């Protein structure tokens, strides 16, 4: 998962270190169930974070509690 945001929260630019992440979640559309309403997978548990020092991009590994 790649997250690249500028300090204003826009979806471009890059986060610069130092960076503190207290809580984060990713909501992804899911095609697992064929229902009239779309379903979603919610990833709330962060296992690893890496900030590339050259580009400033933040990479994070998330899992679900299932």
Residues 5-56 pLDDT 10s: 445 544 444 445 555 555 555 666 555 555 555 555 566 677 777 777 887 7
pTM for this predicted structure? 0.36
Question: Distance (Å, rounded) from C-alpha 26 to C-alpha 33?
Answer: 19
pLDDT given for residue 20 in this prediction: 54
pLDDT given for residue 44 in this prediction: 64
pLDDT given for residue 17 in this prediction: 52
For CA atoms 13, 25, 51, 17, the dihedral sign is: positive
Domain boundaries defined on the chain: 2-49
pLDDT given for residue 48 in this prediction: 76
Question: Distance (Å, rounded) from C-alpha 58 to C-alpha 55?
Answer: 9
């Amino acid at each position: 998962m790649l997250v690249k945001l500028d300090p204003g929260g826009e979806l471009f630019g890059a986060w610069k270190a130092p960076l503190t992440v207290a809580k984060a979640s990713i909501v992804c559309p899911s095609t697992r169930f064929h229902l009239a309403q779309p379903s979603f997978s919610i990833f709330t548990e962060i296992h690893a974070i890496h900030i590339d020092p050259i580009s400033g991009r933040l990479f994070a590994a998330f899992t679900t509690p299932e």
